[in-house]
Amino acid sequence: MYKIQSAKLLKDVMGNYFRGMGDTSKKMAWCTSVGPAELLRSFGFEVHFPENHGALLGATRTANDFIPEATKLGYSNDICSYLTADLGSYLKKETPMTEHYGLKGAPKPDLIVYSTNQCREVQDWFCYFAKELNVPVVGIVPPRHLDEVTREVIDDVATQYKNMIPACEKASGKKFDIDKFRETLRLSKEATELWKQVLFTAKASPAPISFFDATIHMGPIVVLRGTQVAKDYYGTLLKELSENVTKGVGFLEKEKSRLYWDGMPIWGKLRPLSELFMQNNSAIVASTYCNSWVFDAFDEKNPFESSAKAYTEIFINRSDRAKEKILKGLFRDFKIDGIIYHDAKTCFNNSNSNFGMPQRLKEETGVPFLIIEGDLCDLRFYSEGQSVTKMETFIEQIERQKVLA
């Protein structure tokens, strides 16, 4: 059976990261998942990502134990289930990090930092904790849903980055060092380039990495950006996957169809979904979600401007027109036969099926689509039987169309 051997190393890398959170001698910052992690690391902060904890609660299927705690406090069941699960876990004083990594809970922060480049929900979430834990909070609020990322936008966001420095200096006890920032950004750039190459190995058929594998292997690019550890990990993973491409080995022997997954993963159902597609010889080879940590614009020579550009031009922060252009390129590059849109009920920010995009893209590219309803963490929104039937029918239709073509 096909296995990615680097998964053993990944377990160590992620285990060390989480266990490192128990070291209270280090200054700690909380950051949003596509927030300014490199700037924080340049001050020597360890960085905790609450969304990553949300994903862990989803993947361990414990989120639904915690969401009601947040609901009791007035946080609606319909808002981001990363937020409600993470908040509920804090209120209930329970987390799977205890069993897996010996941590009692999320590490106490010295500084909380968010960017609303992905959604405004993170602002409410992080400000709740800033008040609750009596910790300073700073935010970056870039313009949203952009067609183009203009010079004015980059300058605005770069200024917001620079304005964070006094808070970082105060919380870390260290003066800002531009050379450290450049070095952290260089490491982050090298890691993200390797991650992109990892994802792009799936252009090959058979593909050596699926969307479901990638949601696991993306851990270091989310939580360890700006470290040598992340860069080394993706060097190792890329070497393995490239060798598999050369040998003609992939997770399926023969791909009957190649699909694209748009939107959030359904964290609590990764394994059954992966098995479902494998059994149907259908390969999900690319996704919006895993591509979200590819930051082409990083440039250590212009650390503020290039960070501002890289984190503002992310897919989730673009207009539908810009998103459709990106998707069309990916359909072509990965030879996509069909697209599945996950309409995540608690994240409209990362669900792209509600304003006519599937229909427009089908008209322009001919690529058929399926929309399934579900959620990132809250499994009450996912009807498994109904969704499995829809997905199997969709795969059959694609195969029939390919035979007729």
* 318 bridge partner residues: 146
Number of Cβ within a 10 Å radius of residue 150? 12
- Quick note: the x/- pattern for ligand SF4 over 48-77, rule CB under 6 A, is ---x--------------------------
Amino acid letter at 57?
Answer: L
Q: How far is the CB of 288 from ligand SF4 (least distance, A)?
A: 12
Closer to ligand SF4 at the Cβ: 339 or 377? 377
Look up residue 339 and give its DSSP letter.
Answer: E
Residue selected from 94, 121, 213, 343 as contacting ligand SF4 according to rule CB under 6 A: 121
Query: Which two structure tokens, joined as six digits, stand for 208?
Result: 């050596």
Closer to ligand SF4 at the Cβ: 60 or 302? 60
Short-list 371, 177, 141, CA closest to 263: 371
Look up residue 268 and give its DSSP letter.
Answer: G
Q: Does 89 bind ligand SF4 (CB under 6 A)?
A: no
Residue selected from 56, 122, 138, 372 as contacting ligand SF4 according to rule CB under 6 A: 122
Residue selected from 95, 118, 352, 387 as contacting ligand SF4 according to rule CB under 6 A: 118
Closer to ligand SF4 at the Cβ: 4 or 294? 294
Contact region with ligand SF4 (CB under 6 A), list: 21-29, 116-124, 295-303, 391-399: 116-124
Amino acid letter at 233?
Answer: Y
Q: Segment 322-351, which members bind ligand SF4 (CB under 6 A)?
A: 347, 349-350
User: In the sheet that 282-287 helps form, which strands lie side by side, from edge to edge?
Assistant: 282-287, 257-262, 338-344, 369-374
Residue selected from 70, 80, 198, 308 as contacting ligand SF4 according to rule CB under 6 A: 80
Contact region with ligand SF4 (CB under 6 A), list: 21-29, 59-67, 79-87, 353-361: 79-87
Number of H helices, E strands in the chain: 19, 8
Residue selected from 4, 14, 284, 376 as contacting ligand SF4 according to rule CB under 6 A: 376
Cβ-based neighbours of 147, under 8 Å, separated by 6 or more: 318, 319, 321, 322
Closer to ligand SF4 at the Cβ: 52 or 282? 52
Size of the site for ligand SF4 (CB under 6 A): 12
Closer to ligand SF4 at the Cβ: 10 or 80? 80
Q: How far is the CB of 170 from ligand SF4 (least distance, A)?
A: 27
CA atoms within 13 A on the CB side of 299: 7
Distance CA 160, CA 20 (A): 30
Residue 245 CA from chain centroid, whole number: 25
Q: How far is the CB of 341 from ligand SF4 (least distance, A)?
A: 15
Q: How far is the CB of 342 from ligand SF4 (least distance, A)?
A: 12
Closer to ligand SF4 at the Cβ: 204 or 377? 377
Q: Does 238 bind ligand SF4 (CB under 6 A)?
A: no
Q: How far is the CB of 63 from ligand SF4 (least distance, A)?
A: 12
Q: Does 119 bind ligand SF4 (CB under 6 A)?
A: yes
Q: Does 317 bind ligand SF4 (CB under 6 A)?
A: no
Angle (CA) 165-55-200 rounded to 5° is 85
Q: How far is the CB of 141 from ligand SF4 (least distance, A)?
A: 14
Number of Cβ within a 10 Å radius of residue 365? 16
Q: How far is the CB of 53 from ligand SF4 (least distance, A)?
A: 11
Cβ-based neighbours of 285, under 8 Å, separated by 6 or more: 202, 203, 207, 210, 211, 258, 259, 260, 334, 336
Inter-residue contact 256 to 399 (CB < 8 Å): yes
Distance CA 226, CA 235 (A): 14
Establish whether the linkage from the previous residue to 206 is cis, with ω within 30° of 0: yes
Q: Segment 267-286, which members bind ligand SF4 (CB under 6 A)?
A: none
Number of Cβ within a 10 Å radius of residue 185? 27
Q: How far is the CB of 299 from ligand SF4 (least distance, A)?
A: 26
* Ramachandran bin of 170, using left for φ above 0, alpha for ψ from -120 to 50, beta for the remaining angles: alpha
Residues at the contact surface with ligand SF4, assessed by CB under 6 A: 51, 80, 82-83, 118-119, 121-122, 347, 349-350, 376
